[in-house]
A and B are shown apart, each in its own frame.
Chain A
Amino acid sequence: MTRRLLTISLLLTIGSLASAQSLTLYSGRGEALVQPIVERFTAETGIEVSVRYGGTAELAVLILEEGRASPADVFWGQDAGALGALSQAGRLSALPEELTAGLPGIYTSRGGLWVATSGRARVLAYSPERSVETPWPATVFDLTEPQYRGRVAWAPTNGSFQAFVTAMRVVHGETATEAWLRGMIANDVQAYRNNTTQVEAIAAGEVDYALVNNYYLLRFLANDPAYPVAQGFFGDGDVGNLVNVAGAGIVDTSDDREAAEAFLSFMLQEDSQEYFTNVVFEYPVVPGVEPAGALASFDALLAASPDVDLDVLEDLEGTLELLREVGLL
């Protein structure tokens, strides 16, 4: 038994060495989303892709720890923060301009080091039943008012929430952001672990509003069209409607840039973009691709989104400091 298992593991080891010539992708995005795209890419280009799946943050930290010896060619993360951390550490190399040409500003990094593969907007999820009598907030700052007391959920430890706080600091300054955080706490805001648990909390009747990303509710609705939660944007340009991205970059130590670039441009092709929006209910980044059914249109999203350069979201450290200061971390 032991010997057979050892032989198996030896064979697997040799197998992984033999395929070393292929493209290596470190993916913070899930297998169910990535695998079909990878298979189509291989069928079209003949380039084999081996994928390491894991948490977006852990894989970014892994690339940092591996240093020059990193086998990764492409890093594909679930948020701009991880991409920012890698580009700040000098671990991403510049992308060719034709790759990012024609994309809206919110979907590319200023330094040209990574490109968005899909967009995800912050929205306000709510219970249609229990919010009839309450006026719709024009801005996220309204949520500190007494009529929302104890009725709003957020997820202070969640990456998307922290990116939103970073954006608020950039747009409205440290003082206003700190005042908002303290105002929310004073207004008895309820803390949850992540977006899913927040949406579930509305359905469970624990809260009436939640600050979440746009796609979680759509997944619940896909399984159960009668799910008792809805969602909407704050007023146009409000920082509460921040658009964050899932994106990819080429690792500086990649030994096959050509294949890596081919993979990135494949992900920006129209059919790949359609696939993303239909499977995970995120926004396409390429104009002309229709967002999936229940999503707001491409133009409505651009109108609602605040004017924030995603590269500023790299200053997560300052946000963490602020969250610690007000006692949330």
Chain B
Amino acid sequence: MLIPAIVAGIGTLVPIVYLALRAFDGDLATVQRLVLRERTWTLLVNTLSLTGGVLALTTVMAVPLAWLTVRSDLPWRRWVTILSVVPLAIPGYVVAYALISLGGSNGFVTQLTGTIVPRPSGYWGAVAALALYTYPYLFLNVRAALLGLDPSLEESARSLGHSSRAVVTRVILPQLRPALLAGWLVISLYVLGDFGVVALMRFEAFSYAIYLQYSSAFDRTYAALLSLLLLGLTLLIVATEGRLLGRRRYARTGSGSQRAVVITKLKGWAPLAYAYVALVLLAALGLPFLVLGSWILLAPPSLAAWQSVGEAFVRTASVAAPAAIVTALAAMPIAYLAARVRLRGSRVIERLAYLGYAIPPVSLALALVFFSLRTVPWLYQTTTILIVAYVISFLALAIGPIRSALMQVPPRLEEAARSLGRVPFVAFFQTTFPLIRRPVIAGTALVLMVAMKELPLTFLLAPTGFTTLAVRVFTRTSEGMMAEAAPFALAIVLFSSLFVGLLVSYEGRR
């Protein structure tokens, strides 16, 4: 377990070493001038308040949705689950465009109702857009935790005279803590690194400054320096999460096997629940589809265009699928170390994995260009390097759900297997693995969906001529050809939804 975890951990160090090397060749005076100015502080405050806003909104969206789909008698729970995850597959700028095109005197709202509403922008626009497609991270984490929650805990609490509210605050919420923290962590780090939405919403966050250095100054030195600053911020957030998580025990200790979850009847609350689900899904799915639909109607694509969508899809899947599988395989030992092994270094490796997720993709891609050309030039611009980049970048996504689940699995099972003569590896696969299979699948699905729409790593590292769906969308929107981009954007969303549907239905069939 230790060795693969260390290898994966070292992988995430590669970009950091590169950034340090690059930042180091800047001249100190300019570096100081760039870093020690009021604007850096403004960017920092903006970034943190944006993160806070997105966390609050995603929590309000994701937690009730997760509870309703796992623990209530809401109808079509599986469909609601699938639809709740799909927004993850929608490229961020499509969501931002969707929100923007609501308002203004040419917007959808005006065309429907005749009243002019201002176009969303700035802080609230950015919060709304980011929350609308990042909440599934939290939804998936909380859902996995709720599925793994042992109902006997709640029953014991009730039999000891606790009210329903006390059961929620003293039993359920504390048990959800690792899942909430894992979801919040991933969303915070995403917000830190996101460029597209903050730019469209004209909100000046930290990632903006980094992008500017690359895109308008062609300056790798200061961009690297700013990336390091951002990583400092990431470390702070990751450490805070580690602090809050602490060393509590979450595994059940009773004898016998865990029973299935208990379903709560909604009764009089049902209409409210329906309205809530409808509102979230309309905002997160309805809006972007409205925009994609209107782009397609601008100029209906030809048959040949749809055929090239198919080819691009095969290429996209041929890197996204292996990347998802390798990421899940690498995440397991890391999550295992973090949840089970009480060594000083075991948590550090897990924390490193989160850095990979927060490094701005352009910096990560340049780091891999730098290292691969110097060490393994024959792998440069092959799908292998691209897959390695995906794994480094998305490792954190797969670790979250697996770690939360591992914390709920009692170590005694594995210890029993070992005492019966199984070697540790076999003991893990025969006892613990079947119990964490679903979160492993959830992690794989997450990585798959995000890799399907990944852009900057792909266009810098993929083999020349290897245009994925996301690259095709970009190379059309960059020339202002929205209608031509729409079929490819639609394909990303539809194909990813298909995967989610398959995986969620597998999850239900235990």
Residues of A participating in the B interface, judged by any CB pair closer than 8 Å: 1-2, 5-6, 8-9, 12-13, 16, 19, 24, 29-34, 50-55, 57-62, 64-67, 69, 71, 78, 81-82, 85, 157, 159, 162, 191-193, 196-197, 200-201, 203-206, 215-216, 219, 223, 228, 280, 316-317, 320, 324, 327, 329
**Interchain CB contact under 8 A, A157 and B199:** yes
B46 to chain A, nearest CB (A): 14
A-B pairs, top 7 by smallest CB distance, nearest first, are A204-B104, A54-B459, A30-B479, A31-B475, A16-B463, A205-B105, A57-B215
Contacts A30-B478, A31-B475 given: A193-B215 contact, CB under 8 Å?
Answer: no
Count chain B CB atoms within 10 A of each CB in A31, A191, A228, A317 and give the residue with the most: A31
Partner of B214, one of A6, A58, A66, A280: A58
In the assembled complex, how far is the CB of residue A179 from the closest CB belonging to chain B, in whole angstroms?
A: 21
| Nearest CB of A to B36, in Å | 13
Q: Is B200 an interface residue (CB 8 A)?
A: yes
Instruction: State whether A324 and B39 are in contact (beta carbons under 8 Å apart), knowing that A24-B464, A52-B465, A58-B215 are contacts in the complex.
Output: yes
**A-contacting residues, B475-500, CB 8 Å:** 475-476, 478-481, 483-484
Supply 26 A–B pairs (Cβ within 8 Å), ascending by A.
Answer: A1-B321, A2-B321, A2-B322, A9-B387, A12-B463, A16-B381, A16-B464, A30-B479, A31-B471, A50-B465, A55-B215, A55-B456, A57-B215, A61-B220, A69-B380, A82-B218, A157-B208, A192-B202, A193-B199, A196-B480, A203-B106, A219-B481, A316-B216, A324-B39, A329-B39, A329-B212
Nearest chain B CB to A70 CB, angstrom units: 9
A65 touches B220 (CB 8 A): yes
Binding site secondary structure of chain B? helix
CB contact under 8 A between A71 and B373, given known A55-B459, A162-B216? no
| B383 and A53 contact, CB distance less than 8 A | no
Cα distance, A1 to B444, chains bound together (Å): 14
Known: A65-B370, A193-B199. A30 touches B481 (CB 8 A): yes
Contact of A53 with B218 in the complex, beta carbons under 8 Å? no
CB distance from A4 to the nearest CB of B (A): 9
User: B28: CB under 8 A from chain A?
Assistant: no
**Residue picked from B103, B318, B387, B471, most chain A C-beta under 10 Å:** B318
Residues of chain B within 8 A of A1, CB atoms compared:
321
Q: Which residues of B contact A192 (CB under 8 A)?
A: 202
Q: Is the CB of A53 within 8 A of B471?
A: yes
A61 touches B214 (CB 8 A): yes
Closest Cβ neighbor of A52 among chain B residues: B464
Task: Decide yes or no: A62 and B460 within 8 Å by CB, A200-B106, A316-B216 being known contacts.
Answer: yes
A317 to B34, CA, bound (A): 13
Give bound CA distance, A171 to B279, whole Å: 55
What string of 1s and 0s marks CB contacts (under 8 Å) between B420-438 and chain A? 0000000000000000000
CB neighbors of A among B35-89 (8 A) = 39
List of A residues within 8 angstroms of B218 by Cβ: 57, 60-61, 64, 81-82, 85, 316
With A13-B383, A54-B459, A71-B381 in contact, do A205 and B479 touch (Cβ < 8 Å)?
A: no
List the B side residues contacting A13 at CB < 8 Å: 382-384, 463
> Taking the nearest CB of chain B, how far is it from the CB of A256, in angstroms?
14
CB contacts (< 8 Å) of A29 on chain B: these are 479
Smallest CB gap from A163: residue in B? B216
Q: Of B116, B387, B459, B480, which one neighbours A52 at CB under 8 angstroms?
A: B459
Interface size on B, residues (CB 8 A): 64
Query: Is B152 close to A, CB under 8 A?
Result: no
Contact B471 A204 (CB under 8 A): no
Closest chain B residue to A155, Cβ basis: B202
> A8-B318, A30-B481, A65-B220 known; A206 and B464 CB under 8 Å?
no
Q: Is the CB of B383 within 8 A of A12?
A: yes
Contacts of B465 in A (CB 8 A): 16, 19, 50-52
B373 pairs with A66, CB closer than 8 A:
yes
A65 to B119, CA, bound (A): 40
Find the B residue at minimum CB distance from A223. B298
Check B217–A33 contact: CB distance below 8 A: no
Contact of A206 among B119, B471, B484 (CB under 8 A): B119
Alpha-carbon distance between A71 and B484 when the two chains are bound, in angstroms: 29
Q: In whole angstroms, what is the CA distance A317 to B456 when docked?
A: 24
Nearest residue in B to A224 (C-beta to C-beta)?
B298
With CB as the reference atom, state the residue of chain B lying closest to A219: B480
In the assembled complex, which residues on chain A have CB atoms less than 8 Å from the CB atom of B106? 200, 203-204, 228
Contact with A along B371-393 (1 / 0, CB 8 A): 00100010011111001000000
Check if A203 sits within 8 Å of B104, measured CB to CB.
Answer: yes
A191 cross-chain contacts in B, Cβ below 8 A: 202
Closest to A329 in B: B212
A1 to B322 CA separation, bound complex (whole angstroms): 9
Q: In the complex the two chains form, what is the Cα distance from A54 to B377 in whole Å?
A: 21
Q: Which of B315, B380, B383 has the most CB of A within 10 A?
A: B383
Asked whether any CB of chain A lies closer than 8 Å to the CB of B474, the reply is yes
* B261 contacts chain A at the CB level, 8 A cutoff: no
User: Which residue on chain B has the smallest CB distance to residue A9?
Assistant: B383
For the A-B complex with A54-B471, A204-B105 known, give 13 more contacts whose Cβ atoms are closer than 8 Å.
Answer: A5-B321, A31-B476, A54-B460, A58-B215, A61-B218, A65-B370, A71-B464, A193-B199, A193-B200, A197-B200, A316-B218, A320-B216, A320-B217
Given contacts A55-B215, A191-B202, A32 and B481 within 8 Å (CB-CB): yes
Give residues of chain B (104-124) contacting chain A, Cβ–Cβ below 8 Å.
104-107, 116, 119
Return the chain A residue nearest B361 by Cβ.
Answer: A58
- Known pairs A61-B214, A193-B199, A204-B103; A12 contacts B220 (CB<8 A): no
- Docked pose: A54 CA to B456 CA in angstroms: 8
Are A58 and B456 in contact, CB atoms less than 8 angstroms apart?
A: yes
B299 interfacial by beta-carbon distance below 8 Å: yes
Q: How far is the CB of A169 from chain B (nearest CB, A)?
A: 15
Contact present for B319 and A9 (CB under 8 Å): yes
Q: B466 and A12: CB pair below 8 A?
A: yes
Interface string of B299-323 (1 = CB under 8 A from A): 1000000000000000101110110
- Contact call B369/A5, Cβ cutoff below 8 A: no
Q: Which B residues from 337 to 382 make CB contacts under 8 A with A?
A: 362, 365-366, 369-370, 373, 377, 380-382
When distances are taken between beta carbons in the complex, the residues of chain A under 8 Å from B381 are 16, 71
Could you say which residues of chain A place their CB within 8 Å of the CB of B299? 223
**In whole angstroms, what is the CA distance A170 to B160 when docked?**
80
Q: With the chains together, A266 CA to B217 CA distance in Å? A: 31
A66 contacts across to B, CB distance below 8 A: 369, 373
Q: Does B403 contact A (CB under 8 A)?
A: no
B287 on the A face (CB < 8 A)? no
Tell me whether B366 and A62 are in contact (CB under 8 A): yes
Asked if B472 contacts A31 (CB within 8 A), the reply is yes
A57 with B474: in contact, given A51-B464, A204-B106 (CB under 8 Å)?
Answer: no
